[in-house]
A and B are shown apart, each in its own frame.
Chain A
Amino acid sequence: MKQWNAISLGVLVGLGSFTFVYAKGYSYLLNDPRTCVNCHVMRDQYDAWQSSSHHTVAVCNDCHTPHALVPKYWVKATNGMRHSAYFTLGNFHEPIRITESNRRVAEHSCVYCHERLVRSIQGHDGSLRCVSCHPRVGHQD
């Protein structure tokens, strides 16, 4: 029985590693925006970002993940799980919509860079966001 266990574990690890590499699993740990179009659902957003005002100064992660290390990978992990589940099963709302928590992450990112400019006008209780008036700075779609 022990030998069988060793063989089956080997098969699992082998197939698992192959799948991980084939699906470019490692790319999700890095910062390249092309990672986000590994799956084609994000294609419109990626294309629109390339022609947006921010494409020279910010990639996907700069706005859509927090800047501290642990929160960054926490957001990556939770979104990664959700996205892969949806993409595998295909049961998601189209056109895709940002979730409330991800919206907050993005809002923080605006302020992270533009704080000196917007410090004095940050009086709103969350009812007005940067993108309420600037919906196209990141990506139009």
Chain B
Amino acid sequence: MKENRIHVSLFVVTTLLTIAVVGLLLNIIQRKQEARDRFAHVVPIADLETDPEVWGHNFPDQYDGWKRTAEAYGATEFGGGAHRDKLALNPRLKELYAGYPFSLEYRERRGHARALEDVIGTKRMGDQKPGTCMSCKSSDNVRLWNEIGPEKFFLTPMRELQHQVSHSVSCLNCHDPKTMDLRPANPAFLAAMKNRNIDLAKATRQEMRTYVCAQCHVEYYFETPDRPILHFPWENGLRVEEMERHYDAIGFADWEHPVSGAKMIKAQHPDYELWSTGIHARAGVACADCHMPFRRVGAQKISDHWVRSPLVNVAHACQTCHRQTEEEMKERVVAIQRRTRELMDRSEVAIIAATRAIAQAKEAGAPESALEEARALHRRAQFRWDFVSSENSMGFHSPQEAARLLGEAIDFARQAEITVLQARPGR
């Protein structure tokens, strides 16, 4: 009897061990399978295939990543994926953007898969938007630029164009469908690079990992309100004063500030330009290195097409190069961002003070020459502040440049204030 019990338990033990070994064997087979090339060319992709789902048959992992850009993945301290209402968070913005559509609605941007619905839905310009507004929002643009040409695209009202598009910005905006090579498609970017004498045909893959982003995440302007052709102001260079020189030379203004009467320039989202002055740019680090870091899927390395804030993905975004802990990397970034935010607060207070001082001086009968001088300073100050404010990294893309610009913004704003204070009659 006792001997029998030993035999039974031995049998049970060997059986369990056998099960474990089979489990391990299957796992090893699976891991070996992963190591093989997983790329499967399932469907042909047409030259102007605008539907990301079709591309997704061949590239399911990249497509899944792109789809996730629709997710509200949560806020970081100064950005992230939360679609926050910036006007509610910072009431000063309404005064700074007074007289301009951004004082009506200004929200945190969302991901690539939401771009099209967001541009259609925004209250800014209502149904008066030109086609130009859609330039970076849909993959169907690439087809339309081909079919009707860029100029007609820009000059057609968006309410007419939007019936001809159905996909948000996606595969075709950055990739050649035949080779999957990176290639920007936005005609304004292509023209601007040609102007800078940069031959995109000679660009390396690493440069392209920045350029495809730089076709949209940049400072831009419309030629005139009646002729809203899209341009990038890069003729003299990418730095603020170089772009400002371009705007001054063509007598450009986005709007007139109703309080100060200054001719203003609205900065868009000069992420690429600010990055280009920073240490990461100098080290050859591309946008995609941090915003689309390599991710392991089985044995394959793919760039993560869930483009988002690196702060929610520090391990892949930072630690590939930086050996420090995740906590330390995060602290470094947040320290830079908090300092930038403090300088931005000071800039905003200074610019609003200047705006009000100009209005009061006008009321008090200050000479027009002094008012004009102060308005020009207001324009300069606000363009610099806005450059950092509208840029999406809270200074991180180039901390020293951001601080330099905000320092200048504060100085120009206070100079404007002093100019009108000194010019008030009775002094």
Binding site for B on A (CB under 8 A): 1-2, 4-5, 8-9, 11-12, 15-16, 18-19, 22-23, 39-41, 43, 87-88, 93-95, 97, 135
Contact = CB atoms under 8 A, between A and B. Distances in A.
Contacts of B21: 12, 15-16, 19
Contact of A1 (B4, B29, B31): B4
Contact of B14 (A9, A19, A23, A97): A9
Contacts of B315: 93-95
A91 B361 CA distance: 66
B7 interface: yes
A69 B158 CA distance: 75
B22 A40 contact: no
A22 B17 contact: no
Interface of B: 4, 7-8, 10-11, 14-15, 17-18, 21-22, 24-25, 27-29, 31, 34-35, 296, 299, 315-316, 319-320, 323
B35 A23 contact: no
B11 A5 contact: yes
Contact of B296 (A94, A97, A135): A94
Contact of B35 (A12, A18, A40): A40
Q: Which 6 A-B pairs have the closest CB atoms?
A: A40-B299, A1-B7, A8-B14, A19-B25, A12-B18, A40-B35
B11 A22 contact: no
B90 to A, nearest CB: 37
Contact of B18 (A11, A87, A135): A11
Given A1-B7, A11-B18, 12 more contacts: A1-B4, A2-B7, A5-B7, A8-B18, A12-B21, A19-B25, A22-B25, A40-B31, A40-B35, A43-B299, A87-B31, A88-B31
18 contacts: A1-B7, A2-B7, A4-B7, A5-B7, A5-B10, A5-B14, A9-B14, A11-B14, A12-B17, A12-B18, A19-B25, A22-B25, A22-B29, A39-B31, A40-B35, A88-B24, A95-B319, A135-B323
Contacts of A23: 28
A102 B18 CA distance: 33
Given A15-B21, A95-B319, A8 B15 contact: yes
Contacts of B22: 15
A19 B34 contact: no
A107 B245 CA distance: 56
